[in-house]
Structure 1
Amino acid sequence: MSAMEEIDLSACCQSCGACCGYSQNWPRFSIESDEELAAIPEALVNDRQSGMRCEGDRCAALQGEIGQATACGIYAVRPEVCRTCMPGDAECAMARRKFKLPAIEPI
């Protein structure tokens, strides 16, 4: 993969954000260590301590407008499930369909 393709994929995510607004059950914690969980601001953790706090289906850490321009407010310490979602994978495609965004070709 060329550097240009990597930049294009990053731009896809920053103009999308669909995975961060798909479901309140999506931004969950799974294999994070206690130290990794402690790095996530407490105000952004749900009441059950099982994942990120959401406003409806939208993760509270998501900034911007889905499908336009978005960013993660805790990108450096985001949960593992957020790190593993890749542009064009099954989860990405499912989330993009919810927001009627065109599919991304898998990497």
Structure 2
Amino acid sequence: MSQDTPCLNCGACCATFRVSFYWGETDSAPDGHVPAALTEQISPHLSCMQGTNQSNPRCIGLMGDIGQGVRCTVYEHRSSTCREFAWHGENGQPNDDCQRSRARHGLPPLPFTSPEPNCIPVIAA
């Protein structure tokens, strides 16, 4: 994770949503990578990270205090749900779920500036 991401001083999404994903992403499946020991089965085809399937969720992989220094202990092996969750403003896109999770934990909203209309983002290869 880049050191300039606001995620390292947030962690609100990890303590707001159920982190569910296809069970085949766990390392109990041939090509899986999410540590199965840190998940629970929620249906025949879905798993979730332990701690997130409750009314006050907090992912077992989250280390630190919300709104302060946090990190994901399984970052390199996180699920597609986490890989696809962008912080508000990442890649020039808003994310209302990010903003709602921050508000739920008493954190201020992240600023957002939309890209210039004639700018074409450069994506490194």
What is the CA-CA distance between 1:7 and the residue it aligns to?
4.8
Report whether the alignment pairs 1:28 with 2:17.
no
Specify the alignment match of 2:120 in structure 1. Answer: none
- For 2:119, the equivalent position in structure 1 comes to none
77 and 106 in structure 1: CA distance in 2 versus 1, 3 angstrom threshold: farther
What residue identity is the alignment partner of 1:15?
N
Q: Which runs of 5+ in 2 are unaligned?
A: 28-32, 89-94, 114-125
Q: Size of the alignment, in residue pairs?
A: 95
TM-score after normalising by structure 2? 0.66
Match of residue 109 from structure 2: 103
Q: Which has the higher helix share?
A: 1
- For 1:7 and 1:100, the matched residues in 2 are separated by 23
Structure index of larger Rg: 2
Provide the secondary structure at the position in 2 that maps to 1:46.
strand
User: Is structure 2 residue 48 aligned with structure 1 residue 51?
Assistant: yes
Query: What's the % identity of the aligned pairs?
Result: 32
How many angstroms apart in 2 are the aligned matches of 1:54 and 1:44? 9
TM-score by length of 1: 0.76
**Cα distance in structure 1, aligned partners of 2:112 and 2:74:** 25
How large is the RMSD of aligned CA atoms in angstroms?
A: 2.1
Native 8 Å contact 1:16 1:67 kept in 2 = yes
Large movers: runs of 4+ above 6 Å: none
1:3 aligned partner: none
- Conserved? CA contact 1:15–1:66, under 8 Å: yes
Q: Which runs of 5+ in 1 are unaligned?
A: 1-5
